[in-house]
Structure 1
């Protein structure tokens, strides 16, 4: 199947014009695409470059491999055309949204309880399971945005939803992170404003995705408040990972040192929530950071520290650590060994517990 035909099919399935697709790409990447250029892609006059294939992957919510591989394109469209669940899901979401508007929806305290439950569930459930539930709750909460506290709840839900959005380079999530930051601003809660931006920064930095956005959101978080907080800690490590991926070793190590001092002031006793950063999770951040910097001894020490306290109920994070070891092997020159080690770790984790972040780490290792 021709790439232009697939772009046209995906654009149409979103209900977008050629101009709207150009606008979506421009909004995320700061480019100046026009409707005419999209039309040239679709007519096969011009083939999108690697940069624009990645951009299309993000805004159209389709794996990059599908855009690159002719056989996968056809299979993907066949699978999409064969599903009948979308209208049912849409109907349910619409009904829940209108019901919330008509009845008032859950209370502010109920939303806080829901957020706490999501914080725990995110650590152990797969992205698909979380995403379906989050979509329904986002439809409901958007009908209730009448108070600062509800804007706060919405901002945190949107941040978590961004973590479940598909896209091989993170750009599909960027819109959600930006909307979450705006929603947090509407709450007027400084802590939430910092946390949303910091959480987005560490997510993008850890995944190696949209590093410019990670830098910007982390910078905003740090500028909002100098008070030690988990949001600030996340922002620091988001910047550290971005620096490491750019090859700026000195900056990455300086930020790691800053982050460790910050952790001493704000580290969590809570072990199994996405809103917490306990000792083991700090060392998951550091393990990948040091693996990217090629500091094998320090990376292994961080991995051992993480494993010593990692709850047995969170096997996905043990898989993260194994992928970090695979990355170290690949960076040391044993690419086949690194890929094999990482693949074995992924195969040992039940597929329903896989996350988009793990898949992106696999891409980094194979690259």
Structure 2
């Protein structure tokens, strides 16, 4: 079966028009896909690239391997013309959950290893890749929650899952951050309780989304423990970004200084994990914060320091830094040049490496 035929059959099985399919992709990923382009896919006039294959995989709820032709498409798309896709996915999840309950599921050590892997992969893979896999892990771990230590695992998985949704989608991202905070409390582990809330605060603050919620999570983390930790560091920087966006530059600068003091005592040696904050990453936080404050001297210094230490395996974060430069240009009054610089940096990054956060940052530069 041709890819175009498969896309058409999956679309019509849901009762969607070509325009509705393009609308779903645009709403989820911030793209500008047209109905005409969907028509060209279905007619075989053009083949979706790697980025749009991933988009289609999520929106149409079909394994990426099927779209890529690694699995026989006709075998997958049965006589039900796609109507069985959702039940198949649900069946897989239910099977995983019951299997975990019947067998006892992975050990604590195995879960910690999974978390480490996801933390590393999140830094380089797209959100859609992580989202599908983590959802299955959440179904599995919820069958083992009679062990308090596994509430900690669940809380950290939920936090990562939340980050696969844009913060501007207040319903989904914030819902999962709140669930993660409750799970962390059930773990009775102080570090997890602080880390989950701090990670939510910096994610929302950096994205410039749901700022009141970012403040609440940050305040909760600070109230739970003022001991220097990565969770507290994230909370303080998240609160600083929220203050800068609201125009409270005095508070933002105070929190920046406080965050740097916490980093001096609690920074990470691990370089490539979402669960870590090494020197280059705290400078990425600082770079955007200073750009939002209009502090060019601090921003450039942070950008240069981050670029000097940024692992070559993480090109997405190099794109972040260039887009911060675009934001500075825009805020200095040259909006067109700032937007062009940010857009060029984003376009230079392979589409499959794009993140929801980068798209929100692009929108912020254009608004400036």
Q: Distance in 1 between matches of 2:61 and 2:306?
A: 43
Q: Report the CA distance between 1:70 and its aligned residue.
A: 12
Q: 1:131 to 1:64 in 2, by over 3 A?
A: closer
Q: Report the CA distance between 1:297 and its aligned residue.
A: 1.7
Q: 1:92 to 1:70 in 2, by over 3 A?
A: closer
Q: Distance in 1 between matches of 2:96 and 2:296?
A: 51
Q: Distance in 1 between matches of 2:60 and 2:272?
A: 39
Q: Distance in 2 between matches of 1:213 and 1:283?
A: 24
Q: Distance in 2 between matches of 1:132 and 1:81?
A: 13
Q: Report the CA distance between 1:92 and its aligned residue.
A: 1.4
Q: What's 1:162 paired with?
A: 162
Q: What's 1:241 paired with?
A: 241
In the alignment, is residue 222 of structure 1 matched against residue 217 of structure 2? no
Do the aligned partners of 1:62 and 1:166 also contact (CA within 8 Å) in 2? no
Q: Distance in 2 between matches of 1:171 and 1:82?
A: 20
Q: Distance in 1 between matches of 2:242 and 2:357?
A: 15
Q: What's 1:357 paired with?
A: 357
Q: What's 2:329 paired with?
A: 329
**Aligned ranges for residues 1-367 of structure 1 at < 5 Å?**
62-63=27-28, 84=82, 85-166=85-166, 168-367=168-367
Q: Report the CA distance between 1:170 and its aligned residue.
A: 4.7
Do the aligned partners of 1:170 and 1:204 also contact (CA within 8 Å) in 2? no
Do the aligned partners of 1:63 and 1:168 also contact (CA within 8 Å) in 2? no
Name the SS for the 1:124 alignment partner.
Answer: coil
Name the SS for the 1:164 alignment partner.
Answer: coil
Q: 1:312 to 1:71 in 2, by over 3 A?
A: closer
Q: Distance in 2 between matches of 1:346 and 1:88?
A: 36
Name the SS for the 2:276 alignment partner.
Answer: coil
Q: 1:82 to 1:306 in 2, by over 3 A?
A: closer
Q: Distance in 2 between matches of 1:96 and 1:141?
A: 10
Name the SS for the 2:272 alignment partner.
Answer: coil
Mind listing any 5+ residue stretches in structure 2 that lack a counterpart? Answer: 1-13, 15-22, 43-55, 63-81
Q: What's 1:40 paired with?
A: none
Q: 1:351 to 1:125 in 2, by over 3 A?
A: same
Q: Report the CA distance between 1:358 and its aligned residue.
A: 0.7
Give CA-to-partner distance per residue, 1:8-61, whole Å, 9 cap, x none.
xxxxx9xxxxxxxxxxxxxxxxxxxxxxxxxxxxxxxxxxxxxxxxxxx9xxx9
Q: Distance in 1 between matches of 2:304 and 2:231?
A: 25
Q: Report the CA distance between 1:158 and its aligned residue.
A: 0.3
Name the SS for the 2:145 alignment partner.
Answer: coil
Of 349-358 and 246-255, more deviation after overlay is shown by 349-358
Q: Distance in 2 between matches of 1:207 and 1:298?
A: 20
Do the aligned partners of 1:62 and 1:167 also contact (CA within 8 Å) in 2? no
Q: Report the CA distance between 1:344 and its aligned residue.
A: 1.1
Q: Distance in 2 between matches of 1:284 and 1:269?
A: 16
Q: Distance in 1 between matches of 2:197 and 2:204?
A: 11
Q: Report the CA distance between 1:183 and its aligned residue.
A: 0.1
Do the aligned partners of 2:145 and 2:151 also contact (CA within 8 Å) in 1? yes
Q: Distance in 1 between matches of 2:222 and 2:207?
A: 20
Structure 1 runs of 4+ with >2 Å offset: 61-66, 69-72, 78-91, 166-172
Q: 1:107 to 1:335 in 2, by over 3 A?
A: same
Q: Report the CA distance between 1:90 and its aligned residue.
A: 2.4
Mind listing any 5+ residue stretches in structure 1 that lack a counterpart? Answer: 1-12, 14-56
Do the aligned partners of 1:64 and 1:168 also contact (CA within 8 Å) in 2? no
Name the SS for the 1:142 alignment partner.
Answer: helix
Do the aligned partners of 1:159 and 1:180 also contact (CA within 8 Å) in 2? yes
